[in-house]
Structure 1
Amino acid sequence: MSHLTVDIVRSPEDLDAVRDLCRAYRLLLAERIPDRPEILANYYAEEDYEALLAVLPEKHARPDGEIFLARLNGQIVGCGMTHRVGPETCEIKRVFTAPDARGHGAAQAIFMAAMDQARADGYSVMVLDTMVRLVEAIALYEKLGFTAWEPFYDLPEGFEDLIRFYGIRL
């Protein structure tokens, strides 16, 4: 039987694992949008993305956010993170499960842990953005009760057909 846990990242080694998972997430996005290189260039340009990964602990620091790490049978398999985007609203970002661990509930467990932490931190809303081509992710969001939501940032011109916004009242 599989044993799945979700923990809050505290060690440098765990943070390095999160960064590796985020890089794998970027590669997945690149695979899903080969015909839209401007999306990768705008949101995930390699140099800018590496700079973002370097400051993850600051960007998702307490008390406004958190970084979560999923382990399946002791092996690191997934991550996700939250941060404040409004007085009572947090955003969940970069939820990703390694391909060989999919189907074990890691992403759902990350969402549940993040939602519990967000409630405990006083947030009343959680939002996210996603690409329409991430159909598996969208199915999970909807299963968890997320619904279509108003954009919480301005999209670059020409991206409206590819990005969707979701939210849930906690």
Structure 2
Amino acid sequence: MLSIIKPETPDQLDAVRRLCWEYRDFLLTLDERSVQIVQAVYPQEKYARVLEAIETDHMPPSGGMRLALLNEQPIGCGMFHTLEPGVAEIKRVYVNEQARGTGAGCAIMLSLIEQCRSDGFEYIRMDTGKPLEAATQLYLSLGFQLRDAYSDLPEIVEGHLLFFEMSLRPDQTGSDTKG
């Protein structure tokens, strides 16, 4: 049985960290450019610091986190943080290989979107690598729109990422995006 929870206990937070490391390892199995990007943007020490701070950076009031469990076993995660007032950024959505196709990725995303909406965010932004075609299709199917980059990025990632935005405003289905 699939369930999506808000991780709160040390064991649950450690499971999220393990899944985030699995995600990084997965990205290192993609094409050579993806490997170069991961090694340049998230070297091990820097990524370890990011994961050490998830309890503060990705928890209320400035963010949120989800852990997907399949038959009580951690199989996926996702999180968001405040990018700027009214704008959340979803990060590190990952489902391990054994659980792909179970609907866990969609369930994680729907839970994160709902939390962003109930927290009063007006927009959600996110990015993904071009090789992650299943992720791209999921985000588009959920109503995200392609847009231009929304932050300054290292030169190495230019042309390798896709950027998305979703409006949570009741009067809009999309936003002023370029794509």
1:42 aligns with 2:36: no
- Matching residue within 11, 17, 20 for 1:19: 17
- Separation in 2 of the partners of 1:156 and 1:38? 12
Compute the displacement of 1:110 (Å): 0.6
- Asked if 1:101 is matched to 2:60, the reply is no
In structure 2, C-alpha distance between the alignment counterparts of 1:158 and 1:60, rounded to whole Å: 26
Whether 1:55 and 2:92 are equivalent positions in the alignment is no
Would you say the 8 A contact 2:27–2:34 is kept in 1?
A: no
Structure 2: runs of 5+ lacking an equivalent: 169-179
Cα distance in structure 2, aligned partners of 1:75 and 1:130: 26
Q: Distance in 1 between matches of 2:148 and 2:7?
A: 30
Deviations 1:99-138 (A, max 9, x none): 1011111111011111111011000111101110111111
How many residues matched? 168
| Structure 1: gaps of 5 or more residues | none
Q: Match of 1:145, as an amino acid?
A: G
> Which secondary structure does the structure 2 equivalent of 1:31 belong to?
coil
Report 1 or 2 for greater relative contact order, CA contacts < 8 Å, sequence distance ≥ 6.
1
* Residue in 2 that maps onto 1:33: 31
Q: Normalising by structure 2, report the TM-score.
A: 0.90
TM-score by length of 1: 0.94
**Greater Cα offset, 29-38 or 48-57:** 29-38
Q: CA deviation at 1:42?
A: 2.3
Separation in 2, partners of 1:166, 1:113: 17
Q: CA RMSD in A?
A: 1.2
